[in-house]
């Protein structure tokens, strides 16, 4: 399913997000600034773009797996949430989990944007929830591997 998403380039350094290959779910977001990110440091990174997410959809910002695996750079609040009413610049909170500083340059792919439909829940307060086989058993309750 395709959706038309209006996008604005806010700075001369901004680049349109792109899908790397056919069938990809995530659009690559690119940095619109250059900087070093030190070991253990988090930084809010400008993309230089704003998008109009359609009502009934959400934009989710995910880490890039290659950047995380090779360099230890990840999205801190993964996934970041872009609501349909937000019209400001998309920014990404990056965290350097490696022991070494890492350089980001203008145009580097720093994260992925996934546009997804969602269900808006109508909550109903009850005194008891329906029972299930799992019940209230939490973390690790279904076993290892």
Q: What confidence tens digit (pLDDT) does each residue in 66-103 have?
A: 999 999 999 999 999 999 999 999 999 999 999 999 99
Q: Give the pLDDT confidence score for residue 143 in this predicted structure.
A: 72
Is the model's pLDDT at 104 over the cut of 90? yes
Is the model's pLDDT at 1 over the cut of 80? no
Q: Give the pLDDT confidence score for residue 57 in this predicted structure.
A: 96
Q: Give the pLDDT confidence score for residue 144 in this predicted structure.
A: 67
Peptide bond into 118 cis (omega under 30): no
Give the start-to-end residue ranges of the domains of the chain.
7-117
- Average pLDDT on 62-66 reads 96
CA distances in angstroms from 11 to 49, 76, 106, 111, listed in the order given = 8, 24, 11, 18
Of residues 54, 73, 56, the one with CA closest to residue 112: 73
Enter the tokens of residue 107. 């145009």
pTM of the model: 0.89
Which top CATH class is 7-117? mainly beta
Q: Give the pLDDT confidence score for residue 145 in this predicted structure.
A: 62
Indicate the range of 38-42, 83-87, 106-110, 136-140 predicted with least confidence.
Answer: 136-140
Do 49 and 90 meet the contact criterion of CB atoms below 8 Å apart? yes
Q: Give the pLDDT confidence score for residue 2 in this predicted structure.
A: 83
């Amino acid at each position: 399913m395709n959706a038309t998403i209006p996008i604005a380039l806010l700075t001369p350094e901004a680049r349109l997000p792109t899908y790397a290959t056919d069938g990809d779910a995530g659009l690559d977001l690119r940095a619109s600034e250059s900087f070093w990110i030190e070991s253990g440091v988090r930084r809010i990174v400008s993309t230089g773009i704003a998008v109009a997410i359609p009502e009934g959809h959400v934009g989710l910002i995910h880490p890039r797996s290659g950047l995380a695996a090779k360099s230890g750079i990840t999205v801190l609040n993964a996934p970041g949430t872009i609501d349909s009413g937000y019209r400001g610049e998309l920014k990404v909170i990056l965290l350097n989990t490696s022991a070494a500083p890492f350089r980001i340059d203008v145009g580097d792919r720093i994260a992925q944007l996934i546009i997804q439909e969602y269900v808006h829940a109508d909550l109903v307060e009850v005194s008891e929830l329906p029972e299930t086989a799992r019940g209230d058993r939490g973390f690790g309750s279904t076993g290892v591997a």
